[in-house]
Amino acid sequence: MDAEERPGISKNTLDAVSERARLEQELAHAQEELALINQKLEEKGDFGLGEGASTVYEWEMNLALRQAAEAKIESIKAALARLDQGTYGICEVCGQAIDPARLEILPHTTLCVGCAQASR
């Protein structure tokens, strides 16, 4: 049944519900990813002189991955807040609508393609 066939439910409402579900799924996945990275960081390697070079590299890589995962989680939470405020899908620089295809790929983006390219 389409939104047009359901009394009292607009297509925009269904789109918002769909986007919320997608963002929440993305958030859950990112939180699982962070938990796995944190587990890896609990394992302490041998950092003795001349030993453990690969362990140090792996440790530093996991620290970088944790930072990226934490940033992604915050970005998704901010997107959920924008959805609640009614500003989700609006470019924070130019105020134009972000292309739905871009939101499909990067659901927590805050910039349209033009503004993202200009900010490089």
Q: pLDDT at position 54, please? A: 74
Going residue by residue through the chain (120 aa), what tens digit of pLDDT does each one get?
Answer: 444 443 433 445 547 788 899 999 999 999 999 999 999 888 766 566 656 567 778 888 999 999 999 999 999 999 999 999 989 999 999 999 999 999 989 999 999 999 999 988
Residue 7: per-residue pLDDT: 40
Which residue(s) pair with 97 in the sheet? 90
Lookup: tokens for 92: 């924070």
Length of the chain, please? 120
Query: Taking the domains of the chain in order of start, what are their residue ranges?
Result: 3-88, 89-120
Specify the pLDDT at position 52.
58
